[in-house]
Amino acid sequence: MPKILIIEDEASIRAVLKEILLDQKELKLEIDQAKDGFEGLQLLETNSYDLAFCDIKMPKMDGMEVLQKAKEKNINTPFIMISAHGTTEMAVDAIKMGAYDFLQKPPDLNRLLITVRNALDRSSLVKETKSLRKKVSRKYEMIGESPALNSVKEMIEKVAPTEARVLITGPNGSGKELVARSIHEKSKNSDGPFVEVNCAAIPSELIESELFGHEKGSFTSAIKQRIGKFEQAEGGTLFLDEIGDMSLSAQAKVLRALQENKITRVGGDKDISVNVRIVAATNKNLKKEIAESRFREDLYHRLGVILIDVPSLKDRREDITALIDKFLHDSSEEYGSKKKEVDAKAVKMLEAHPWEGNIRELRNVIQRLVIMAGDVIKPEDVRKYL
């Protein structure tokens, strides 16, 4: 139920406004009232309103001051200012100070209702974005307190706020992508995009156009201009995943982009400057790839200003219980069911498993067990489905 606050010194106007709003039955509004600015601010601080009406001319504290104080206190409720003596300047001032809208008193009914609907739509969008943000950052939460993982987390805290390039190594499914996302989240560019390129999945003849884009007509199938990943990541982070699988010719082109912070679209002739934080990852041993001439040493040095090695799960078995708990929780949320328990013996068995596929394998096993086992996951379930 959307909640609206009316801050207005005249009881008769409060009553009329309330009546008009409650008449809009389909909006299912809940209305509170405040007879002056002090009471209004107090209510705003202790409740979460989707919208506030605020009279401008009031004794004690005028409406503009209420608005200003609310902004200072980081109250995000949209304000609709109302005044009987409104001038254009007053309306402009109110909007400049962050009011959502300004209405003359007595307000035109249609205009009033349109403004209310728009303000409520905006407020529900803001709420939704907030809860999605929370969900996303929970999705990328790094679970585990083992010394091995804690040292990775410490590295992330240190390097994220810098501009430094980071090369993440570690076995399959150990959490390299999670580390990359976490660096982005904690960086100065966290409001910018996080763009991922899986270098192993793109055929080498297409990688150049994928990364740098192309101009229309630059090759047969280039029917439109295309913006590459480097440009898409402008102001944010470009995650070059599986960089160890990139062809040598693509490596040469990426090297140039990293050396000069400039790219050229395929078929284009101008250099385009890019401001992008580069984070790369691989499960290959790049030193070995270099020794065998499959990876350019100069590119390695350009990429890996900071190296983060993500440990395999068998080197941090103490994290397994917490990870099981997290995946059980995620599954129960996903299926909307009660969170399952794991019998102590079954936990022991899971802890002893080699986990060659690391955390991804553990997550898949838990998902399988949640679907196949009863309310309590027992040793025989583990034996059967591991």
Ligand X SMILES: Nc1ncnc2c1ncn2[C@@H]1O[C@H](COP(=O)(O)OP(=O)(O)OP(=O)(O)O)[C@@H](O)[C@H]1O
Residues that bind Mg ion (CB under 5 A): 177
Contact 11, 35 (CB under 8 A): yes
- Residues numbered 129-168 forming contacts with ligand X, rule: CB under 6 A: 142-144
Return the amino acid letter for 17: L
Contact 279, 240 (CB under 8 A): yes
**Closest alpha carbon to 101 in 111, 85, 59:** 111
**DSSP character string of 166-227:** EEEE-STTSSHHHHHHHHHHTSTTTTS-EEEEEGGGS-HHHHHHHHHEE-TTSSTT--S-EE
Contact 266, 213 (CB under 8 A): yes
Candidates 18, 176, 277, 302; binder of ligand X (CB under 6 A) is 176
CB of 195 to Mg ion, least distance (A): 14
174 binds ligand X (CB under 6 A): yes
- Residue 77 or residue 182: which is nearer to Mg ion going by CB? 182
CB of 69 to ligand X, least distance (A): 42
CB of 197 to Mg ion, least distance (A): 11
Judged by CB under 6 A, which stretch of 33-41, 116-124, 170-178, 183-191 contacts ligand X?
170-178
- Residue 132 or residue 201: which is nearer to ligand X going by CB? 201
Residue nearest to Mg ion (CB): 177
Query: Pairing between strand 79-83 and 101-104?
Result: parallel
Contact 232, 193 (CB under 8 A): yes
Token pair listed for 360: 């991804």
Judged by CB under 6 A, which stretch of 2-10, 33-41, 263-271, 358-366 contacts ligand X?
358-366
Query: Pairing between strand 226-227 and 213-214?
Result: antiparallel
Judged by CB under 6 A, which stretch of 175-183, 207-215, 231-239, 377-385 contacts ligand X?
175-183
**Closest alpha carbon to 230 in 248, 203, 250, 200:** 250
CB of 93 to ligand X, least distance (A): 49
359 binds ligand X (CB under 6 A): yes
- Residue 81 or residue 180: which is nearer to ligand X going by CB? 180
- Residue 40 or residue 173: which is nearer to ligand X going by CB? 173
Secondary structure element (H or E) that encloses residue 101, with its range: strand 101-104
**Residue 90 binds which of Mg ion, ligand X, none (CB < 5-8 A, kind-dependent):** none
d(CA 242, CA 168): 10
172 binds ligand X (CB under 6 A): yes
Binding mask 268-307 vs ligand X (x if CB under 6 A, - otherwise)?
---------------x------------------------
Binding site for ligand X (CB under 6 A): 142-144, 170, 172-178, 283, 323, 326, 359-360, 363
